[in-house]
Structure 1
Amino acid sequence: MTTRRLTVAQALVAFLARQYTERDGRRRRLIAATWGIFGHGNVAGIGQALVESGTGPGTPMPYYQGRNEQAMVHAAVGYARQSRRLSAHAVTTSIGPGATNLVTGAALATVNRLPVLLLPGDVFATRPADPVLQQLELPWAGDVSVNDTLRQVSRWFDRVTRPEALIPAALQAMRVLADPAETGAVTLALPQDVQAEAYDWPVEFFAERVWRVARPRPDTDALAAARQALAAARRPLIVAGGGIRHSEAEGALREFAEATGIPVAATQAGKGSLPHDHPADIGAIGHTGTATADELARTADLVIGAGTRWTDFTTASATLFQNPDVRFVNINITSFDAHKMAGTSLVGDAREVLAELGAGAADFRVPAAYREEYGAAKARWESRVDAAYLAGDPAARPTQTQLLGALDALVTGDDILINAAGSLPGDLHRLWRARSADQYHVEYGYSCMGYEIPAAIGVAMAAPGRPVWALVGDGTYLMNPTEIVTAVQEDIPIKVVIIQNHGYASIGGLSEAVGAERFGTAYRRRAADGTYTGDPLPVDLAANAASLGLRVIRAKTVGDLREALAEARASTVPTGVYIETETADTVSGAPPAQAWWDVPVAAIASRASAVGAREEYERRIAARRRHL
């Protein structure tokens, strides 16, 4: 047997550089690059191996320097989503806090079914000294390290304690990353002594390996049952989720909707599955949905969930689908998700399932009156969007929705918008007019503050030349601005819109609604009574962003904002637009929620606000329903 003598880390890097995915005849690198921050747990292992592999453009394993371990995972996730899960990045860290900083990013990746390879250093496998720096000691287990915190948020976890164990571990890691039904965060914990150990590797380990991404087709009996349910429906509704995007099923969805006349509502992950101006597109569904979609959902007799996980925001905490005869058909690559809502399960690739479902329902079309009903409702909602976007006085301070209106007037289908947390996901889901399948990128599976800026970098890497916007509120910005430095270093011209509204605006509104009186949600000085009700904090986020190397344009008015956004879009360097928005309390903002969301309210309280909120809560929970 021919062998090649390398360290474990060198062998892993060489192996990763030769892995590919293939779908529909197109081949892509499975692990296209590695992000890393180095410490004693990986500097002499993975760090040295990356140097050994070569540095600079065109190397077998490109390397990117991050500033925060969590942010590196976010960048990798942004890249993977934009790549439709067919290409991913690896992230390497030292042991200890570097490794535990990966946990939030890993959870986000796994919740959203997006591939990322995590390569944290680990404590010595040989235990030459015990404990070593940053080692967790437990009196009941000697084989646990802080990396075990990643087990619960990883789709596959292994600790490589011997060189020869790398071979099966690496192959399993690639299998999970490339499998659309299994993918998520994959962790290979690498003890620092093992990383540096030499071994004679079979050369076959380094041969090009192609992981074919299958498009499984549905069970014929399940397909027949779904067709029967469709034939009996009079008010069917499609709910498009992220699986449409991952499987590139937008064309199949459009053809199915046009052939049947069934309206299409979208989850956060599925928004853009149809362009906003398609006659069948009725916008967002659920708590952050449109009045059109939510009213149709309440009366639907058949709901076809295509690539959705049926989260509480989508179902309005199990209060949305109120027709007593409603039934569900679930199209999903995983049986775990396909069996939710007691639906008929069509387990398979969304593109293939939609094509086969449509082929067997060629004679089905919804009644003309139903099409007219949702067409008129869609037009009414568009008028409400126009009103929210309208900014009459160019000298006035804009509301957040007017900011979105200014951006809406500027972008084309090439632009990509990224957001994850705060009040923006609701406004965007309800109001944004998606012009292309991948324009709308809102991470709402984990809704992680601090995702936007690093994710924008990853998206821009996967979509070079396209304008990529990171929309962040002040709360989110303060969580994780450091990857601005990476964008500057790599000359990635992301556009960062920093919205100053002096606190956690979204949670402030929620707090008020549930009787918690906006406690702890404003960014203000303490008042004489000890509460945070003093003056707004004199924090200059524009100056902070500029200090990290971002070119920042300050805007004060609607007119300034329009000019600043246009200037940022044309910029060839990382550029930010800083704007302080008017609140919706004083100027018209977004339409209110069209469906409920379950946030439990105190059952016993002495303050009137909480007592009143509890009464409303009890009224709402009476509408909850389990679909069985």
Structure 2
Amino acid sequence: MVSKASVFKSPHNEPTVRLTVAQAVVRFLANQYIERDGERSRFFAGCFGIFGHGNVAGMGQALLQAEVEAQQAGTEPALRYVLGRNEQAMVHTAAAYTRQKDRLQTWAVTASIGPGSTNMLTGAALATINRLPVLLLPSDTFATRVSAPVLQDLEQPHDNELTVNDAFKPLSRFFDRVWRPEQLPSALIGAMRVLTDPVETGAATIALPQDVQAEAFDWPESLFAERTWHVARPLPERAMIARAAEIIASARRPLIVAGGGVIYSGANDALTAFVEQTGIPVSETQAGKGSLPFDHPQAVGAVGSTGTTAANALAAEADVVIGIGTRYSDFTSASRTAFNNPDVRFVNINVASFDAVKQGGLSVVADAREAIEALTEALGDYSVSDDYRSRTTELAQEWDDTVTAAYRVEDDGSALNQSQVIGLANTLSEPRDVVVCAAGSMPGDLHKLWRTRDRKGYHVEYGYSCMGYEIAGGIGVKMAAPDRDVFVMVGDGSYLMMATELATAVQEGVKIIVVLVQNHGFASIGSLSESLGSQRFGTSYRYRDQSGRLAGDKLPVDLAANAASLGAEVIKVTTGAEFTDAVKVAKAGEHTTVIHVETDPMIYAPDSQSWWDVPVSQTSTLASTQEAYETYAEWKKVQRPYTKPTE
């Protein structure tokens, strides 16, 4: 009940309640629910926010009022408020949270006008690219324009309605601006439709002018009634299942590419039953890692540019590729060089027709779980040959032996490399613990090296691969799964982008274990630069030397001291034994711990024997670039368009 709210009658004799626009937003969001398979839960876990003059008297006042009233009533606020340190980071935290929740719960994020709101643009892009539902509430300039131009107002002489928030339009799956209170209900309901739709979902943005946020209006009470949004499981057409089964049954060397859709639809058990019946091996995208446990007989691990040699060998030979819930990114297809059988055909199962038609494949538009179960029945007693099963097993074992060798740490006190750090973290973590990463060399190494044992144990943001996501994302994962330990793997370059969220973790009592790898620069781009003939230019954190180039001594950056200054507990390690002890201390502790370890960026993880299309300068005076272009030109000969339709 809102304090001192007046109740009126609408023209249709419906009771109304007088609230500001911001108060109405808070009350509406608190009463939104989602339901799938008969399980119902509140859709919004809360609201992240940083307040400025654009929202402090609007959304800030509304959230405060809701919190005070809940306290007076002896209850928890229906919409919990959390203060972040960076607007982009708050969106990352919300995105990570909803991914861990299989997109069945999320957060709203509010920011002030101007830079506060535009700081969320990167987060909006990340959420939309990864198909993750997040509600953004950027504040906007005065609707009345009575004081125009106001602070942080974008003036365009050709369009008085254009504000910086229009930049959200291409980055959002839904966008609206509430110039008048009467527009709010349609904006909120429109946003909810998109947020709860597995096909349409992504960032939903409702821009709220700062004067409108504080404006009072008589709202119909029905606007604030509990609403339950049903998440459907679209069934596949029988004719398409029959055609898909016919294509698969004709295959001698089929391969499954399991994407994020397997995880989000909860199709893991259905996939397990399907591959155990048919013997078809399963490769995984970044988002699909965890579709099968790493040691399942049909699991061959990561596929593509950062894949395993097992998955990539099978991909090169596959005559039928069954994509389940994947959008076929360039890393998954190794820039369209992975699937090289000249007669390869594709069967694509996806809830979104946009993704199902890719690679010229047979399009099965349906929920992943429903389609897999239908295919299992349709295929009857179909199974791959014993020889193919044996080949799958042999290739998987060879890669597993490679991983074991990469994990091995010599008991001689020597410094660690990144593969060994990953191996130690993997070995010392529990099966249900979650690893979080996003950018640098670490995601590729994790994709092929991390032995995933639980369907929600792997969380690498690789749709946008956004530097700075890691710590903010780790907070979101931990908030969504408080019973799991969360290992945030981050290099020094990405850490320096958004280390401030350590303070948010400390503030909220959210325990994460941050493994901070000191590379003294951008290890991933350094390696890529070298392979492209650019000699690691501009990728190391160095002083300028006497010639004026950034090639002098290493910068004396103390990341451990930085982490400690933000309230985290810090342990500096060098050897495997020290790292092991540090992880044990961190897991036993109750607070966020940063394990700082310096590694040698010149020792690489095992090669995927694959490729990623990054263009090389076609002409150069540098011998290194000339050599790199020759290699690039050879790979381009292998690249295939995959436009031939699967009949």
Matches within 5 A, 1:7-22: 7-22=20-35
* CA offset digits 1:416-450 (Å, max 9, x no partner): 00000001011100111001001110000000000
> What corresponds to 2:48 in structure 1?
35
> What corresponds to 2:550 in structure 1?
532
Deviation at 1:530, TM superposition (A): 1.4
CA contact (8 A) 2:43 2:105 kept: yes
2:145 maps to a residue whose letter is R
- Stretches (4+) displaced over 4 A: none
Given candidates 293, 306, 312, the residue that maps to 1:275 is 293
User: For residues 121 and 392 of structure 2, what CA distance do their matches in structure 1 show?
Assistant: 43
Deviation at 1:352, TM superposition (A): 0.6
User: For residues 108 and 379 of structure 1, what CA distance do their matches in structure 2 show?
Assistant: 35
> What corresponds to 1:135 in structure 2?
153
* CA offset digits 1:224-251 (Å, max 9, x no partner): 1101101111100000001111111111
> What corresponds to 1:610 in structure 2?
625
User: For residues 72 and 5 of structure 1, what CA distance do their matches in structure 2 show?
Assistant: 30
Identity %: 56
Given candidates 181, 196, 204, the residue that maps to 1:178 is 196
CA contact (8 A) 1:20 1:27 kept: yes
Are positions 1:600 and 2:618 aligned together? Answer: no
User: For residues 448 and 411 of structure 1, what CA distance do their matches in structure 2 show?
Assistant: 25
Unaligned runs of 5+ residues in structure 2 are 1-13
How many residues end up aligned between the 2 structures? 625
Q: Secondary structure at the match of 1:43?
A: coil
Which TM-score applies when normalising by structure 2? Answer: 0.96
> What corresponds to 1:198 in structure 2?
216
Matches within 5 A, 1:123-162: 123-162=141-180
Deviation at 1:584, TM superposition (A): 3.7
User: For residues 618 and 588 of structure 2, what CA distance do their matches in structure 1 show?
Assistant: 53
Matches within 5 A, 1:198-597: 198-585=216-603, 589-597=604-612
1:577 maps to a residue whose letter is I
Deviation at 1:570, TM superposition (A): 1.6
User: For residues 155 and 238 of structure 2, what CA distance do their matches in structure 1 show?
Assistant: 54
CA contact (8 A) 1:9 1:49 kept: yes
User: For residues 540 and 583 of structure 2, what CA distance do their matches in structure 1 show?
Assistant: 27
User: For residues 163 and 361 of structure 1, what CA distance do their matches in structure 2 show?
Assistant: 56
Are positions 1:50 and 2:66 aligned together? Answer: no
Q: Secondary structure at the match of 2:294?
A: coil
User: For residues 528 and 260 of structure 1, what CA distance do their matches in structure 2 show?
Assistant: 65
Are positions 1:115 and 2:130 aligned together? Answer: no
1:530 maps to a residue whose letter is G
User: For residues 101 and 302 of structure 2, what CA distance do their matches in structure 1 show?
Assistant: 23
User: For residues 504 and 301 of structure 1, what CA distance do their matches in structure 2 show?
Assistant: 39
* CA offset digits 1:85-137 (Å, max 9, x no partner): 00010000000000100000000000000000000100011110211110001
Deviation at 1:465, TM superposition (A): 2.3
Q: Secondary structure at the match of 1:312?
A: coil
> What corresponds to 1:83 in structure 2?
101
CA contact (8 A) 1:584 1:590 kept: no
2:384 maps to a residue whose letter is V
2:581 maps to a residue whose letter is E
CA contact (8 A) 2:117 2:165 kept: yes
1:25 maps to a residue whose letter is G
With 180-189 and 521-530 compared, the bigger mean Cα shift is at: 521-530
Q: Secondary structure at the match of 1:413?
A: coil
Q: Secondary structure at the match of 1:81?
A: helix
User: For residues 556 and 584 of structure 2, what CA distance do their matches in structure 1 show?
Assistant: 28
2:391 maps to a residue whose letter is E
User: For residues 170 and 367 of structure 1, what CA distance do their matches in structure 2 show?
Assistant: 54
Are positions 1:2 and 2:15 aligned together? Answer: yes
User: For residues 456 and 251 of structure 2, what CA distance do their matches in structure 1 show?
Assistant: 31
User: For residues 584 and 605 of structure 2, what CA distance do their matches in structure 1 show?
Assistant: 23
Unaligned runs of 5+ residues in structure 1 are none
With 251-260 and 219-228 compared, the bigger mean Cα shift is at: 219-228
- CA shift in 2, pair 1:60/1:324, >3 Å: same
> What corresponds to 2:639 in structure 1?
624
Q: Secondary structure at the match of 2:379?
A: coil
> What corresponds to 2:8 in structure 1?
none
* CA offset digits 1:16-66 (Å, max 9, x no partner): 000000001111111110000001111111111111112577111100000
CA contact (8 A) 1:42 1:192 kept: yes
Deviation at 1:394, TM superposition (A): 4.5
Q: Secondary structure at the match of 2:628?
A: helix
* CA offset digits 1:295-335 (Å, max 9, x no partner): 10001000000000000000010111111110001111100
User: For residues 14 and 214 of structure 1, what CA distance do their matches in structure 2 show?
Assistant: 26
CA contact (8 A) 1:286 1:594 kept: no
Deviation at 1:582, TM superposition (A): 2.4
CA contact (8 A) 1:394 1:558 kept: no
User: For residues 596 and 498 of structure 1, what CA distance do their matches in structure 2 show?
Assistant: 28
With 217-226 and 244-253 compared, the bigger mean Cα shift is at: 217-226
User: For residues 216 and 609 of structure 2, what CA distance do their matches in structure 1 show?
Assistant: 61
Q: Secondary structure at the match of 1:274?
A: coil
Deviation at 1:583, TM superposition (A): 3.2
Q: Secondary structure at the match of 2:432?
A: coil
2:553 maps to a residue whose letter is D
- CA shift in 2, pair 1:394/1:200, >3 Å: farther
* CA offset digits 1:373-426 (Å, max 9, x no partner): 010111111110011000113411111111111112211212100000001011
With 128-137 and 525-534 compared, the bigger mean Cα shift is at: 525-534
Considering only aligned residues, what root-mean-square deviation do their CA atoms show, in Å?
0.9
User: For residues 216 and 24 of structure 1, what CA distance do their matches in structure 2 show?
Assistant: 12
1:603 maps to a residue whose letter is Q
CA contact (8 A) 2:523 2:601 kept: no
User: For residues 513 and 277 of structure 1, what CA distance do their matches in structure 2 show?
Assistant: 33
Q: Secondary structure at the match of 1:133?
A: coil
Q: Secondary structure at the match of 1:161?
A: coil
User: For residues 602 and 444 of structure 2, what CA distance do their matches in structure 1 show?
Assistant: 14
1:20 maps to a residue whose letter is Y
2:635 maps to a residue whose letter is R
Which TM-score applies when normalising by structure 1? Answer: 0.99
1:70 maps to a residue whose letter is Q
> What corresponds to 1:25 in structure 2?
38
User: For residues 12 and 594 of structure 1, what CA distance do their matches in structure 2 show?
Assistant: 52
Deviation at 1:592, TM superposition (A): 1.6
